[in-house]
Amino acid sequence: MPRKTRIDVPDALHHVIGRGIARKKIFLSDADRDNFLNRLGATLSVTKTSCYAWALIPNHFHLLLRTGTAPLSSIMRRLLTGYAVSYNLRHHRCGHLFQNRYKSILCEEDPYLLELVRYIHLNPLRARLVGDYEELCKYPYGGHSVILGRGRREWQDADYVLGHFAQKRATARRRYLQFVQEGIEQGKRPDLIGGGLLRSQGGWTGVKALRAAGTYQKGDERILGNGDFVTQVLAGAQEKLERKYRLAAGGYNLDRLINRVAELLGISTEEVMGPGKARQRVEARSLLCYWAITELGISQTQLAQRLPLNQPAVSNAVKRGACLVRQRQYSIERQK
């Protein structure tokens, strides 16, 4: 059976797991780990992606991310490709470093955010990379120490997590510390990383209880959430896929998109692509970047090569473009 495509939704919570090929180690030294984290930080900063939890294990990693306007696929491609090339050079090897596909699970936030933060941050303890919980609190290659204020990673949004526990930071950290510690005895959590309906309903016990009550909920191995959330996400993903195919069938490419933006704003294509900070030119580039990335799947790197912008500027343009589309109800397609 062919694998399903990943569900890549903007402004959504994703639990990402990347493993070494044949489950081999992808981190051999602290230099490897530091290299990966430096690349991760740079990628998250450029793409305006939030990170709430993370952990590095010798043969895999966990990330809990909230995507912005940059697709998760482009974020991970940039991170993993760059790290793999540098790893191979540093260790005099060639060939693939990671399994062909990283695993990404789209998560319903309210019931699962804190559970996932706890699960991910306990990974080094479960993997016996640290001897006990006290050592985990100081472990530099997991996000737990950062939330406790014992480590520093500018790109990790510790405040967002702490805000779920209390307004005062000291109180929030004390409650968070206890919350994570209480999760140690839970051990592995297949309901958080397992498959589909079983995961979303808390295992067979939960599924049987629902069925006994005459309740049947939709499940999908790419999604962690209740049946209504799964249905909503799948409907949105299907709509996005259908629109993408419709645009491709209609011959939409970057050049045609440039013409569409010029038409909407009443300017020339040269003005769309040219430099300058005049309001219409800024708006034109913002619309172009937003639609090119979200509708046509063009990467930020490709856009930066065509436009007089660097990648951080492209990322900012995408955010402005999203606001313009929402406020003015612009459509990439001509209205009939």
**CATH number, domain with residue 297:** 1.10.1750.10
Lowest mean pLDDT among 12-21, 31-40, 123-132: 12-21
Which secondary-structure segment (H or E) carries 16? strand 13-19
Question: What pLDDT is recorded for position 104?
Answer: 83
51 strand-pairing partners: 65, 156
- The C-alpha angle 186, 190, 196, rounded to 5 degrees, equals 145
**Residue finishing a domain among 158, 178, 193:** 193
> Quick one: 112 and 80 in the same domain?
yes
User: How far apart, in Å, do the first and last CA atoms of the chain sit?
Assistant: 40
236: tokens are 């949105």
How many distinct structural domains can be found in the chain?
Answer: 3
Are 295 and 149 in the same domain? no
Same domain, 121 and 182: yes
CA angle, 78 as apex, 77 and 79 as ends, to 5°?
A: 90
Q: Is residue 113 part of a domain?
A: yes
Task: Calculate mean pLDDT across residues 252-269.
Answer: 88
Same domain flag for 283 and 320: yes
Residues 174 and 61 in one domain: yes
**Domain membership flag for residue 336:** no
Out of 249, 275, 294, pick the residue that ends a domain.
249
Range of the domain at 167: 13-193
Question: Is residue 224 within 8 Å of 112, Cβ to Cβ?
Answer: yes
Query: Residue 191: which pLDDT band, with cuts at 50, 70 and 90?
Result: low
State both tokens at 187: 């051990």
Mean pLDDT over the full length of the chain: 82
Q: What is the pLDDT of residue 314?
A: 84
Domain membership of residue 8 (yes or no) is: no
DSSP one-letter code for 25: -
Provide the 3-class DSSP secondary structure of residue 96: coil
Asked if 298 and 332 count as a contact pair (C-beta separation under 8 A), the reply is no
Domain end: 209, 227, 249, which one?
Answer: 249
Q: According to the model, what pLDDT value does residue 8 have?
A: 67
Taking each helix axis as running N to C, give the angle between helix 279-294 and helix 254-265, from 0 to 180 degrees, rounded to the nearest 10: 140
Percent of the chain residues topping a pLDDT of 90: 44
For the ranges 125-139, 226-240, 246-260, the lowest mean pLDDT is seen at 226-240
Alpha carbon 115 to its chain centroid, in Å, reads 17
143/32 same-domain check: yes
Highest mean pLDDT among 157-161, 245-249, 305-309, 328-332 belongs to 157-161
Which pLDDT does position 294 carry in this prediction? 79
Contact of 107 with 224, CB cutoff 8 Å: yes
Is residue 333 domain-resident?
no
Say whether both 243 and 289 belong to one domain.
no
Q: Report residue 230's pLDDT band, with 50, 70 and 90 as the boundaries.
A: low
In a shared domain, residues 37 and 180? yes
What pLDDT is attached to residue 290?
A: 87
Query: Side by side, which strands form the sheet with 103-107?
Result: 50-57, 60-66, 13-19, 103-107, 223-224
Alpha-carbon span 303 to 200, nearest angstrom: 38
What does the block give as tokens for 46? 């450029």
Statement to judge: residues 103 and 186 lie in one domain: yes
What's the CATH code of the domain at 58?
A: 3.30.70.1290
Q: Would residue 62 count as lying in a domain?
A: yes
Amino acid sitting at position 187: G
Count of CB atoms within 10 A of residue 121's CB? 29
Domain membership flag for residue 289:
yes
Residues 154 and 199 in one domain: no
Q: Are 119 and 234 members of one domain?
A: no
The residue type at 18: G
Taking only the tens place, the pLDDT of each residue in 163-183 is 999 999 999 999 999 999 999
23 plus 143 within the same structural domain? yes
AA letter at 269:
T
Query: Residue 135: inside a domain, yes or no?
Result: yes
Instruction: Say which amino acid occupies 215.
Output: T
Q: Considering the domain boundaries, does residue 6 fall inside one?
A: no
User: 98 or 224, which is more confident?
Assistant: 98
**Side chain identity at residue 124, one-letter code:** P
User: What letter would DSSP give residue 20?
Assistant: B
